[in-house]
Amino acid sequence: MKFGDIIVALGVIAIVIIIIIPIPKVLLSILLSLNIAFSLLILLISMYSKDVLEISIFPSLLLIATLFRLSLNISTTRGILIDGDAGKVVETFGQFVIQDNIIVGFIIFIIIMIVQFVVITKGAERVAEVSARFTLDAMPGKQMAIDADLNSGLITEEEALKRRKDIQRYADFYGAMDGATKFVKGDAIAGIIITIINIVGGLVMGVMSGMDFNEAIQKYTLLTVGDGLVSQIPALLISTATGLVVTRAASEANLGRDLIEQLLGNNPKLLYIIAGLLIFLGIFTPLPTGTYIVLGLLFAFLGYTMGKGIEEEIIETTEEISEAEELRKPENVFELLKVDDIELEFGYGLIPLADVNQGGDLLDRIVMIRRQIAMELGLIVPIVRLRDNIQLNPNEYVIKIKGVEVARGEVLFDHYLALDPGTGEGEIEGIDTIEPAFGLPAKWITEKEREKAEIFGYTVVDPPSVIATHLTEVIKERAHELIGRQDVKLLIDNVKEEYPAVVEEVVPKLLTIGEVQKVLSNLLREQISIRDMVTILETLADYASITKDTDLLTEYVRQRLSGYITNKYVENNQLKVITLDSEIEELIMNSINRTETGSYLSLEPNTAQRILNNTLKAAQKLTNIGEQPIILTAPIVRFYFKRLTEQVTRDLIVLSYNEIEPSVEIQSVGMVSLQ
């Protein structure tokens, strides 16, 4: 523990000890004075804090201050009843208020206690209770607003995390303040009871000790009033501080500045009116002329000062407007050049799906999409911009990648999409359509048909799920376009935190970030996860000194990821594949042209078309029997054959022998030849 922590702990223990053990009168007077200073400090802190989170310790501070004050109350009561003396501070406060008139002094003391208990303490308690209730009720809405801002790209994940934490801290603070005000209320009640005990007990003790009744009243009333003031003044200060804290609304300044600006600065003309009225009353009525004229001149001066300040603000605002007009000039279009990586535009009929206030959960689904793709492909998906577009049909949506439309679909807001997985047993009524993500036949059905469709074995999904699934498949298909150099740098920096050696060896000594980006893009192009960045970078470190060809480096990485690839495509340790005739493999190897900028395949168009046609025929045979078509080739041929088949289809999987674990049983069910 630090020294300060030890001091605080010992201080709390000392407060408890004071309740039990009598202390010298000199020390008691010092502690009573310290209590007044401590209470004044709490009041000033509450006035000059801009946000309640700056004084989040305030509820605990109230408890400590209340306990300290009550312990001193008990000590002074002990001194009054036993010795008839509670120290110089208590006696001085009593003499100052009573001033040889016991009745007036006691009445003033009672008024102070009533003001504190009935007005300030009760009001602060009620405000704290209401603030806690409203803060807790508003938490879900604030959390959803943060999620909406995060998904729309208005804030970063770090800012969202901070705002969520602040919301929780606000709720904790106002909840604690609701309880802490009970300490203040209890303290006020205890002060009244202790006052009664001091007077009654003092009189009894004084009379029993042989003191005259009038003398006992004089002495013990003086001590009681003094003790009450010494304790009630700090209590009043802390009650006021509590009220200030719980009644402060959202503000960016302290209480003093807010009072001046909002009370005097909003409309200086009102100050001139008050000044004129005061001067009129001073001149034409029996009221004190000099006093009212001075006050009137003071308000007139305040009005002039505040009006001058407002004029300066207007000039500043005019300058800001001029700057805004400057931005509207034709040459200031840099902001318009920015293109979002992913955009989802939808017609006005689909706005409720994205509007949290109308129960839409599309934003939450997009958050889950980003998490899902990060887990599956290791890609940090950019923020998805959601926009409504009145040019689209009401139920239509468009997905854009880097400003270019790549997919389009249509959903019916108040319907469900029913798909037949091949086990549907009956007919259902609905609107025939095509499922946008996979192009499967489906039907839009109403809520009444939903239960029936589920009983018949159909897969039933709601409109947000249709859009989310379509968006997910588009992002996966275009993942290689979404990863840029900046994204690669973030991934590398993330690895560098735990594996600095491998990163320093590869970047920038062997490869640039751009070259690493090309390798990762090649992997994502064929849906190979880049989540295992450590293995990828270690492979590049092994082979980058031999070749800078990013296509060849990609093949080395794929071979090192053979465990992942085998697990992705192999089931039950068996793999049914289509192989290439040795003539085709030799033809492809002889047709590879290597240049300084990379390598490419150069085949005669007729030969290439014949290979593609035969490949599609062989793949169709596997598809007809329900098997996933996989082409198995030699390592040096795999990359170029995959690029060749991409001309007709991107769904064909092409693997090399080195990418399959040796324990897998490979069964050839077809062969692609030139014949």
Q: Do the strands 653-656 and 630-633 form a parallel or antiparallel pair, or are they unpaired? A: parallel
Q: Is the pTM of this model over 0.75?
A: no
The pLDDT of residue 40 is above 90: no
Residues 331-381 pLDDT 10s:
555 556 778 899 999 898 888 888 877 778 888 888 899 899 999 999 988
Question: For position 176, what pLDDT does the model report?
Answer: 75
The conformation of residue 571, written as its DSSP 8-state character, comes to: B
pLDDT digits (tens, 9 = 90+) for 83-121: 777 778 777 777 766 666 667 767 777 777 777 667 666
Average pLDDT estimate for 494-498: 91
More confident residue, 213 or 20: 20
Q: How many residues does this entry show for the chain?
A: 675
What is the Cβ-side half-sphere exposure of residue 319, based on CA atoms within 13 angstroms? 6
Specify the range with the lowest mean pLDDT, choosing from 319-333, 344-358, 395-409, 470-484.
319-333
Residue 578 has pLDDT above 60, yes or no: yes
Rounded to whole angstroms, the Cα distance separating 311 from 268 reads 11
Which residues, including other chains, have CB under 8 Å from residue 485's CB and lie 6 or more apart? 513, 514, 517
The predicted structure's pLDDT at residue 119:
67
**Helix/strand/coil (H/E/C) assignment for every residue in 262-317:** HHHCCCHHHHHHHHHHHHHHHHHCCCCHHHHHHHHHHHHHHHHHHHHHHHHHHHHH
Q: 88-98 and 58-82 are packed helices; what angle lies between their axes, rounded to 10 degrees?
A: 90
Q: Per-residue pLDDT tens for 116-150?
A: 667 666 766 776 677 667 777 777 777 777 777 77
- Cβ atoms 300, 269 nearer than 8 A: no
Instruction: Quickly state the pLDDT bin for 250 (edges 50, 70, 90).
Output: very low
Give the residue from 379, 642, 636, 407 showing the smallest Cα distance to 528: 379
Query: What is the predicted pLDDT for the residue at 311?
Result: 58
Burial per residue of 412-425, b for 16 or more beta-carbon CB atoms within 10 angstroms, e otherwise: beebbbbbbeeeee
Asked if pLDDT for residue 252 goes beyond 70, the answer is no
Q: Are 556 and 543 in contact (CB under 8 A)?
A: yes
Q: Residue 653 and residue 644: Cα distance in Å, rounded?
A: 12
In the sheet that holds 630-633, the strands lie side by side as: 653-656, 630-633, 574-580, 665-672
How would you class 189 by CB atoms within 10 Å of its CB: exposed for 0-12, middle for 13-18, buried for 19 or more? exposed
What share of the chain has pLDDT > 70, as a percent? 85
How many CB atoms within 10 Å of residue 47? Answer: 16
Distance of alpha carbon 293 from alpha carbon 592, whole angstroms: 102
Tokens encoding 153: 């790209």
Phi (first) and psi of residue 84, to 5 degrees: 65, 25
Separation of alpha carbons 397 and 409, rounded Å: 6
Beta-bridged to residue 442, according to DSSP, are 419, 433
N-to-C CA span, the chain = 84
189 and 180 Cβ atoms separated by less than 8 Å: no
Lowest mean pLDDT among 414-418, 425-429, 650-654: 425-429
Count of alpha carbons within 13 angstroms of residue 28, beta-carbon side: 28
The confidence score (pLDDT) of residue 33 equals 84
Distances (CA, A) of 58 to 63, 135, 239, 413, 599: 9, 17, 12, 50, 70
Q: Which helix (H) or strand (E) covers residue 579, if one does?
A: strand 574-580
Between CA 615 and CA 593 the distance in angstroms is 23
Structure-token pair, residue 286: 């029996």
* Sign of the torsion formed by the C-alpha atoms of 453, 456, 461 and 463: negative
Q: Is the pLDDT of residue 530 over 80?
A: yes
The mean of the pLDDT values for the chain is 81
- Residue 259 pLDDT level (bands cut at 50, 70, 90): low
Determine the pLDDT at residue 567.
Answer: 92
- Tell me the average pLDDT across 3-27: 80
How do beta strands 574-580 and 665-672 pair? parallel
598-629 pLDDT, tens digit each: 778 888 889 989 999 999 998 888 888 778 88
Closest CA to 408 of 417, 400, 398: 398
Report whether 520 contacts 530 (CB < 8 A): yes
Residues 651 and 434: their CA atoms lie apart, in Å, by 19
Which value, in Å, is the radius of gyration of the alpha carbons in the chain? 40
Side chain identity at residue 311, one-letter code: E
> What are the Cα distances from residue 565, in Å, to 23, 50, 556, 575, 653?
80, 57, 13, 12, 11
Average pLDDT for 25-39: 84
